[in-house]
């Protein structure tokens, strides 16, 4: 049973943390961010435990994935903070100040996401480099792959960071980029 204001809560129970309504989908964002954070932390801890119990020697790949895990925790915190400020809600429900704050936080989380994705990919290649025999051809291929991934990460970061208007690149709602093709094809 529900009302226009959310579900009816029986006496003695707490209301749900977030409710999906036609104007508020933040519950889905909260669930996705929480599940992603839990998985990231769980697999990071598992990798640390395995590395510590098997040979105890940490390599470059471990430090890179550790940095990606820390950044993932920060990124999830930014997303959860943005949800508390209105991310996922209808734009009509937010004040202009709240819209600006939410868009800024969302913009920052996207930048963190690009870095996390790049570091994760680089850590996989660094792990393969560590597993491969010390052959100069293998080393050259893996080092080249790391360079390509680093360039991809930097390029993607700047492509997202330097969007339309550099004065307020985080603004995406009702923003049009000048110098690009408009939606009507002109």
Helix (H) or strand (E) holding 51: helix 26-54
Considering just the CA atoms, what is the radius of gyration of the chain in Å? Answer: 22
Query: Residues 62-116: pLDDT tens digits?
Result: 899 999 999 999 999 999 999 989 888 888 888 888 888 998 899 999 999 999 9
| pLDDT value at residue 109 | 94
Residues constituting the chain: 186
- 153, 117 Cβ separation under 8 angstroms: yes
| pLDDT of 1 strictly over 70 | no
Instruction: List, in order, residues 6 or more apart from 130 with CB less than 8 Å away.
Output: 59, 60, 61
Query: Residues 18-44: pLDDT tens digits?
Result: 788 888 899 999 999 999 999 999 998
| pLDDT of 129 strictly over 60 | yes
pTM to 2 decimals? 0.81
Q: Is 98 buried (19+), middle (13-18) or exposed (0-12) by CB count in 10 A?
A: middle
Domains in the chain: boundaries: 17-166
The whole-number average pLDDT for the span 126-135 is 85
Helix (H) or strand (E) holding 2: strand 2-3
| pLDDT value at residue 152 | 97
- 82, 106 Cβ separation under 8 angstroms: yes
User: What residues does 2 pair with on adjacent strands?
Assistant: 7
């Amino acid at each position: 049973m529900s009302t226009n204001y959310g579900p009816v809560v029986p006496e003695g129970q707490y209301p749900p943390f977030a409710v999906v309504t036609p104007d508020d989908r933040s519950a889905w964002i909260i669930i996705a961010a929480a599940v992603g954070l839990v998985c990231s932390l769980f697999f990071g801890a598992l990798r640390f435990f395995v590395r510590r119990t098997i040979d105890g020697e940490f390599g470059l790949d471990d430090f890179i994935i550790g940095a990606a895990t820390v950044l993932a925790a920060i990124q999830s915190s930014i997303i959860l903070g943005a949800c508390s400020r209105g991310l996922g809600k209808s734009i009509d429900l937010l004040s202009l100040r709240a819209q600006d704050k939410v868009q800024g936080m969302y913009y920052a989380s996207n930048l963190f996401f690009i870095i996390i994705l790049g570091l994760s990919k680089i850590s996989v290649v660094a792990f393969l480099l560590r597993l491969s025999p010390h052959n100069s051809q293998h080393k050259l291929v893996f080092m080249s792959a790391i360079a390509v991934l680093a360039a991809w990460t930097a390029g993607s970061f700047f492509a997202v960071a330097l969007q339309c208007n550099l004065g307020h690149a985080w603004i995406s709602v009702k923003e049009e980029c000048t110098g690009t093709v408009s939606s009507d094809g002109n």
